[in-house]
Amino acid sequence: MQIFGLKNCDTCRKALKTLENATFFDVRDEPLPDELLRRALAEFPDDLLNTRSTTWRGLSAEEQARPVLELLKAHPALMKRPLFLREDGKMFLGWTAKTQTQITAA
């Protein structure tokens, strides 16, 4: 299991603590590969961009109007997190009870 998020994100830390064998990638230090970012955007088109974040509120209207892919590359903290990639290739977003159940299902 791979987890993509921010090392100072409480939700990411909770997920990593629960999924002890997971590998964590801080998207500020190691940006998501383009292919994975595109795939995540295709799978979670309305949810991948976190428009409730402080980073989002700090952007100008002009910046906010940029394509989502460009925004996520320029500002990795705008990604809703954590993003999970299971060994079977299945992706999950967020750390909800539903996601936790799905992640542990084989």
* Positions marked catalytic: 9
- How far apart (Å, rounded) are the C-alpha atoms in residues 74 and 98? 30
Of 32, 104, 36, 46, nearest to 75 by C-alpha is 32
CA–CA gap between residue 13 and residue 6 (Å, rounded): 9
Q: Answer for the pair 11, 5: CB distance below 8 angstroms, yes or no.
A: yes
